[in-house]
Amino acid sequence: MTATTRTARWTPEAIADLHGRTAFITGGNSGIGLETARVLAVHGARVILAGRNQDKLDEAVAEIRKVQPDARLDTAVVDLGSLASIRTATARVAETETIDLLFNNAGVMNVPERRTTSDGFELTFGTNHLGHFALTAGLMPALRRSRAARIVTVSAIAATWRSGRLADLMSERSYGAMTAYAKSKRANVAFTQELARRLTGTTVEAVVVHPGSAVTNLQRHSEGPLARAFVAIASRLLLGSPEGAAWPSLYAGTSPDVRSGQFIGPAGRDQTSGTPRPVALPDGAGDPAEGAFLWAESERLTGVRFDL
Ligand SMILES: NC(=O)c1ccc[n+]([C@@H]2O[C@H](COP(=O)([O-])OP(=O)(O)OC[C@H]3O[C@@H](n4cnc5c(N)ncnc54)[C@H](OP(=O)(O)O)[C@@H]3O)[C@@H](O)[C@H]2O)c1
């Protein structure tokens, strides 16, 4: 069977037994991250659900245990908007754990006004990209202990928007809620391209995905009760489920057909749902110059260095 036909027929049932493998998932308490955690746990993986609120993480663990009572689950409190929180969480994990699969999945979208993280970064870019940049660097010792590790970063189709070009990263000159989101999602792609280049020849691979679209808590920042009601109704009519939206992450994390550096998305013509497969990178996002620029800026802003 060729890689193409395997991809065409891929469903989560194709996932091999994952006993002995450990996955770390940011945003594991909600939406796509929770669904990713559930499916990996059902296939035998030990899953570390990472989130910023222990109560929400405990609820997520209870929810997964409803379908898989013997699921091997742990939690890690980490706020991606705080470099101190990331340092504390990753130091503990990096000391003892082996991580085979890292899902940089957490994210915020459509934050109405410019806000900042506790380190002063614009909130959307700071959480979605810089937080994951620092987290990935902190988890490298745990990833290197794996015989074959994969880092899956969850981007979005917004990465292809022209407004997402990587300039004014902190949105200091002008702020637009979805422009900040598009920049952060483009950064997820460019980060993965640069990481994959830097990881060449190691046992760690880096892949980026876009999940299509799904009704999750991501739409919660819409302004005002009317807008929120409109978004809630429109979302339910137009968007898919977190179950389907987790397929690109699950495929990217577990399929032997996936290669480092690939961008994985749904195959449907509307690009919102369907079997996951490699899709074209956003224009210029594979350019080494863009990757080098983003890497240098991320190091400068966070003070974090990768030990690859
Ligand atoms: N849903 C879609 O249609 C869609 C489309 C394209 C891309 N995506 C991407 O898919 C990923 C998952 O989103 P989702 O749709 O599943 O949304 P979601 O249900 O809102 O989940 C987002 C997760 O990120 C966590 N998070 C947010 N800020 C954080 C922080 N500072 N520190 C740690 N965790 C934080 C949230 O934690 P709390 O519960 O504590 O807030 C939540 O667990 C995101 O990267 C998003 O950009 C989603």
DSSP state of 146: S
Q: How far apart are CA 283 and CA 285, in angstroms?
A: 6
Least confident of 103-107, 232-236, 299-303: 232-236
**In the predicted model, what is the mean pLDDT of the chain?**
93
Residue whose CA is at the smallest distance from ligand 1 atom 17: 218
Residue whose CA is at the smallest distance from ligand 1 atom 45: 107
Q: Residue 31 — very low, low, confident or very high, per pLDDT cuts 50/70/90?
A: very high
Query: Is residue 306 situated within a structural domain?
Result: no
Q: What is the largest CA-CA distance in the chain?
A: 53
What spacing in Å lies between the alpha carbon of 30 and ligand 1's midpoint?
Answer: 7
The set of catalytic residues is: 181
Query: Is residue 308 situated within a structural domain?
Result: no
One-character DSSP codes across 158-221: GGGSGGG-SSSTT--S---HHHHHHHHHHHHHHHHHHHHHHTTTSSEEEEEE----B-SGGGGG
Q: Read off the tokens for 173.
A: 């000159």
The domain total for the chain is: 1
What spacing in Å lies between the alpha carbon of 104 and ligand 1's midpoint?
Answer: 10
Angle between helices 247-254 and 31-42 (to 10 degrees): 50
Residue whose CA is at the smallest distance from ligand 1 atom 46: 107
**Is the Cα torsion angle 81, 206, 42, 271 positive or negative in sign?**
positive
Query: Is residue 288 situated within a structural domain?
Result: yes
Query: Is residue 245 situated within a structural domain?
Result: yes
Query: Is residue 302 situated within a structural domain?
Result: no
Query: Is residue 93 situated within a structural domain?
Result: yes
Q: Residue 2 — very low, low, confident or very high, per pLDDT cuts 50/70/90?
A: very low
Residue 171 Cα to chain centre, angstroms: 22
What spacing in Å lies between the alpha carbon of 45 and ligand 1's midpoint?
Answer: 22
What is the CB < 6 Å shell around ligand 1?
Answer: 26-27, 29-33, 51-53, 56, 79-81, 105-109, 127, 154, 156, 210-211, 213-214, 216-218, 239, 245
Residue whose CA is at the smallest distance from ligand 1 atom 23: 27
Pocket test for ligand 1, best of 25, 26, 30 (most atoms within 8 A of CB): 30
Which phi and psi (to 5°) does residue 51 adopt? Answer: -165, 175
Mean pLDDT of 186-208: 98
Q: How far apart are CA 65 and CA 75, in angstroms?
A: 14
Q: Residue 4 — very low, low, confident or very high, per pLDDT cuts 50/70/90?
A: very low
Query: Is residue 200 situated within a structural domain?
Result: yes
Q: What percent of the chain has pLDDT over 70?
A: 89
pLDDT digit string, tens, across residues 259-272: 999 999 998 766 67
Pocket test for ligand 1, best of 35, 135, 154, 216 (most atoms within 8 A of CB): 216
Specify the ligand 1 atom closest to the Cα of 81: 31
pLDDT computed for residue 231 by the predictor: 65
CATH for 130: 3.40.50.720
Q: Please list, in sequence order, all residues whose beta carbon lies within 8 angstroms of the beta carbon of residue 68, skipping any fewer than 6 positions away.
A: 38, 41, 42
At residue 151, does pLDDT exceed 50?
yes
Query: Is residue 304 situated within a structural domain?
Result: no
The domain containing residue 57 runs over which residues? 3-297
Q: Which of 129, 141, 45, 134 is nearest to 93 (CA)?
A: 141
